[in-house]
C-alpha cells in the first residue's frame, strides 16, 4: 500500500511540475533566429556580398563564370575535359586567399569539385536528358551557393574577431 502511495505521489509531482510555458518560450526564440529554408529557391544562386575579397581571387571568378555558362545551358567547356577540371580545381584550392583558407571553405570547394566531376563524367559518356542536365546544374548551383554562404560566414567571423 505504501508503494502505491509513493507511486501516486510521484505521478502527481511529475504531472504538476510539467509546465507548458517553458517549451513555448523556447519555440518563440528558435522561430526568431531560424531561417525558413522552404522559402529558399536553389534554382537561383546565392552570391557572396564580399566582393572586395572575391574579385581579387581570379580562380573564384572563373568558377563563377563557368557556373553562369551552365545556367545558360552551355556545357561544351566540360565535355571530355577531365584533366582541365582537375587542374582547375587544384588551382582553385591552392589560390584561396588567406582570410578564406579555412577547412569549411576547402570542404565546400571539394563538394563543388565532386559535383563537377560527376557531371563531366555523365555528360561525356552518355546522352543525358535535359531534366538530368538541369538536376546536375541545380546540384552545382546549390553547392556554389553553400560555398558563398560559408565565405560570408567566415568573413563575418573574421570581422567579429577584429572588432574584439
H helices present in 18-129, as ranges: 21-33, 51-55, 58-71, 82-94, 103-125
The pLDDT mean for the chain works out to 81
Cα–Cα dist 142/94, whole Å:
23
Determine the average pLDDT of the residues in 139-155.
Answer: 94
Cα–Cα dist 121/132, whole Å:
13
Determine the average pLDDT of the residues in 127-151.
Answer: 92
What's the pLDDT band for 10 if we cut at 50, 70, 90? Answer: low
pLDDT at 16: 66
Q: Percent of the chain scored above 90 by pLDDT?
A: 41
Helix (H, G, I), strand (E, B) or coil at 44: coil
Residue 1 has pLDDT above 70, yes or no: yes
pLDDT at 140: 94
Cα–Cα dist 123/134, whole Å:
12
What's the DSSP call for residue 98? G
Is the Cβ–Cβ distance between 96 and 57 less than 8 Å? yes
Helix (H, G, I), strand (E, B) or coil at 9: helix
More confident call, 45 vs 112: 112
- Condensed to tens digits (0 to 9), the pLDDT of residues 46-83 reads 888 888 888 899 999 999 999 998 888 888 878 778 88
Residue 30 has pLDDT above 60, yes or no: no
Residue 37 has pLDDT above 60, yes or no: no
Helix 58-71, helix 130-163: angle, nearest 10: 150
Determine the average pLDDT of the residues in 128-142.
Answer: 91
Cell of 96: 584561396
Amino acid at each position: 500500500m505504501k508503494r502505491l502511495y509513493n507511486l501516486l505521489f510521484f505521478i502527481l509531482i511529475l504531472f504538476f511540475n510539467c509546465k507548458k510555458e517553458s517549451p513555448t518560450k523556447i519555440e518563440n526564440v528558435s522561430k526568431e533566429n531560424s531561417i525558413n529554408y522552404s522559402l529558399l529557391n536553389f534554382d537561383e544562386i546565392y552570391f557572396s556580398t564580399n566582393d572586395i575579397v572575391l574579385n581579387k581571387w581570379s580562380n573564384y571568378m572563373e568558377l563563377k563564370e563557368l557556373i553562369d555558362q551552365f545556367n545558360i545551358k552551355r556545357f561544351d567547356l566540360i565535355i571530355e575535359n577531365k584533366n582541365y577540371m582537375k587542374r582547375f580545381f587544384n588551382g582553385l584550392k591552392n589560390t584561396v586567399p588567406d582570410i578564406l583558407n579555412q577547412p569549411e571553405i576547402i570542404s565546400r570547394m571539394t563538394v563543388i569539385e565532386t559535383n563537377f566531376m560527376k557531371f563531366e563524367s555523365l555528360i561525356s559518356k552518355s546522352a543525358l536528358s535535359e531534366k538530368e542536365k538541369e538536376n546536375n546544374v541545380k546540384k552545382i548551383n546549390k553547392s556554389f551557393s553553400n560555398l558563398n554562404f560559408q565565405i560570408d560566414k567566415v568573413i563575418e567571423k573574421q570581422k567579429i574577431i577584429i572588432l574584439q
